[in-house]
Amino acid sequence: MSLHNDAIKLPLSDADLQHLVEFSNMRALTSGAIVALTDSQDEVTYVPHTLFPSPVPRDLYQKAVYVQAGFNELMWKVTEDDEFLTSALKSTIEVDEFTGRMFKIYKQVMQEGCHKPVTLALLRSDYMLHFQPNKPAELRQVEINTMASSLAGMSVKTTQLHREVLQEHGIPNGSQQLPDNSCIDGLCKGFVKAWELYGQQNAAILFVVQDGEKNIFDNIYHVYKIKELNCAIKVIMRSMLYLGKNAQLTDDRKLIVDGMEVAIVYYRMGYVPSHFTSETEWKFKIMAEQSLAAVCPSISWHLAGTKKIQQELSRPGAVERYLKDPEMIANVRSTFAGQYSLDLTEEGDKTAAMGIANPQSYVMKPQREGGGNNIYGDDVRAKLEELAGQQERSGYILMERIMPTVVKNYELRRGLLVDMQDMVSELGIFGVLVCKEDQVAINKASDHLLRTKNIMKNEGGIGAGASAMDSPYLV
């Protein structure tokens, strides 16, 4: 099934294409829709982006926005349920060393009674539009990100870029089909509210970032917006290696970095094992959890974002355990793709048999973020056969493969020949949750991100080099 933006007649003539490509790339550069080319961050290029916004059914977009508050609440309740987290992850932590170490930290700070008064969660729930013959497209959740839910800054700039491209192409009213996008404003209001609830006017917000981060500008736009909302807030950026060597924890659990008390620790790294090059990074990870600072995500939120938890929440009665509104429960559940356990049990054996018999219908997922980790197609069969009878299989889940709707667009990426492509899109809805103890101060959706890729690419992600920034054109 294909979705079309009838206002834009494709393909473009060679002259129109050349003009719009030059206009779009130059406008991206001058508006700050950029990424670093080198680790030194002193050379930049335009962020990969589509030439035009891509069509998204209005009703599905509105549904994704509506259910985000439900997902925020659902994930919060999961993080508060030690019994559920422990039971759901018991097999995974035996075979996945990285998740297992995170779980040990979680248990350690639980036993030490390291309660955090303030909760800050910045989420992003990602969806694709699932197509089945003779049926309208449906919303299917790919995953929910509880850590480093990035690209809000780039998303806002892409929306503005596409408004200007439509105008340049002679479709001035087309921009009315692009939903407003102030996602970075919503996220940063979450930072400011959590900082206020922490209650120390001189405390800083700490961004934990990688040295040589090529997506540094997306981080910087968060800093600018926080300062715009409250110029008194200090925001600092440090690597986890630096923090492991230099951060301190006082007897009264204040986290101190370079002489400053820290109110919020915001991780933009730490979601894959390669981010931990030594015990020094792990030292800071534990220290941050032991502190009074609000950590985004805290260790329980990190664990709640694993694929295993997503699979366990798809079981009958799991969502109902945490949400009470029947309408919200029904809408949340309707976005779920099939999720299946690969534990070394009778249930897991049946799942493995399904994947081996029909590998094209499933995706095999480990407990990792950041793109480039999933297993597709015949590789699913090969991996499942390789892991037959081995405990390592418990580190994966099997997910029903979403069959996305196809759109026509042009991808603009440095060094890539520009040509019209068959592409598929992934819609992300940002969410913000801020609590003081058990009192909710903010629980809302915060607009959107759209990423689009060539239909032949399995993996997504801007950082992974597969997707391009996009904007939803509501149809």
CB 473 within 8 A of CB 55: yes
* Residue among 24, 54, 145, 219 flagged as catalytic: 145
* Catalytic residue list contains 281: no
Query: Does residue 365 carry a catalytic annotation?
Result: yes
Answer yes or no: 213 catalytic: no
Nearest CA among 460, 432, 266, 261 for reference residue 363: 460
Q: Mark whether 143 is an active-site residue.
A: yes
Active-site choice (73, 143, 289, 411):
143
Other C-beta atoms closer than 10 Å to the C-beta of 132 total: 10
Distance (Å, rounded) from C-alpha 439 to C-alpha 433?
11
Of 370, 371, 372, 463, which one is the catalytic site residue?
370
Which residue's entry shows tokens 């040295």? Answer: 211
Give the chain's count of helices (H) and strands (E): 15, 20
Residue type, 451: R
For the sheet containing 396-400, what is the strand order?
339-341, 396-400, 362-366
Q: Can you give 322-357 as a three-state secondary structure string?
A: CCCCHHHHHHHHHCCCCEEECCCCHHHHHHHHHHHH
Q: Which of 150, 181, 219, 409 is catalytic?
A: 150
307 catalytic? Reply is yes
Query: Among 295, 279, 288, which Cα is nearest to 253's?
Result: 288
Task: Tell me the β-bridge partners of 55.
Answer: 473
Out of 138, 312, 369, 426, the active site residue is 369
Question: Does the annotation count 145 as an active-site position?
Answer: yes
The residue from 163, 225, 308, 365 that is catalytic is 365
Angle between helix axes 378-386 and 346-357 (nearest 10 degrees) is: 140
Active site residue 369: yes
Quick one: which H or E segment has residue 435?
A: strand 420-436
List 63, 116, 124, 193, catalytic entry: 124
Q: Is 112 annotated in the active site? A: no
Which residues are identified as catalytic? 124, 143, 145, 150, 307, 365, 369-370, 451
